[in-house]
Amino acid sequence: MDLVAEPSAPTAAELLEFVRNAAADTNLIASLPLDPEGRTWVRLEGPGGSEAWLIAWPPGTGTGWHDHAESFGAFATAAGELKENSLAVRLPASGWKTLELHEGVDRERQLGAGRARAFGTHHVHEVLNESGSEHAVSVHAYYPPLPLIRRFSRTGAVLRLEQVESPEDWQ
Ligand SMILES: [Fe+2]
């Protein structure tokens, strides 16, 4: 009898290790074309069936607020610097259009080249390259592969659900 092992789901630590290693791969990073007019990306083979991307961010670009549903993930900055704004709160899954955020839920971190972070399911964030002159390049991995991304707009403490996108729209 043949026993064929199913690929096992990656752990958060494995995704973190993957994005760190990929971000340190100078040939890989140099292979990504940069465009001053907008983000560029290539899909990578992530570990254990995860979804992974190499993304370049021109100065002043960002994702806007979004979450990744049931997917957890990790990302690492390979060049330049990214800022992540995130919320230390779990949003209701559905049944709302606007939410007023409590004080104290905002988190901020700067991820310079070589820095990485993992995040859990239901993570809500936006990622920005605030530089006025430098591109940033980063590596991202998600598991399970992203099913849907919810996009939000934010005015002060009020978060509004704008749309639900598939990853193809998001890219
Ligand atoms: Fe994200």
State the distance from the centre of ligand 1 to the C-alpha of 5, rounded, in angstroms.
31
CA–centroid distance, 86 to ligand 1, in Å, is: 10
Give the tens place of pLDDT for each residue, 66-83. 999 899 999 999 999 999
Distance 42 CA to ligand 1 centre (A): 16
| Dist. CA 91–CA 101, nearest whole Å | 10
List pLDDT tens digits, range 29-73: 999 999 999 999 999 999 999 999 999 999 999 999 999 989 999
Query: Cα–Cα distance between 109 and 101 in angstroms, integer?
Result: 19
Q: Which domains, from first to last, does the chain contain?
A: 12-169 (2.60.120.10)
**Per-residue pLDDT tens over the stretch 3-16:** 666 668 999 999 99
Give the Å distance between the CA of 7 and the centre of ligand 1: 25
Q: How far is the CA of 2 from the centre of ligand 1 (A)?
A: 40
170 has pLDDT over 60:
no
103-152: pLDDT as tens digits: 999 999 999 999 999 999 999 999 999 999 999 999 999 999 988 889 99
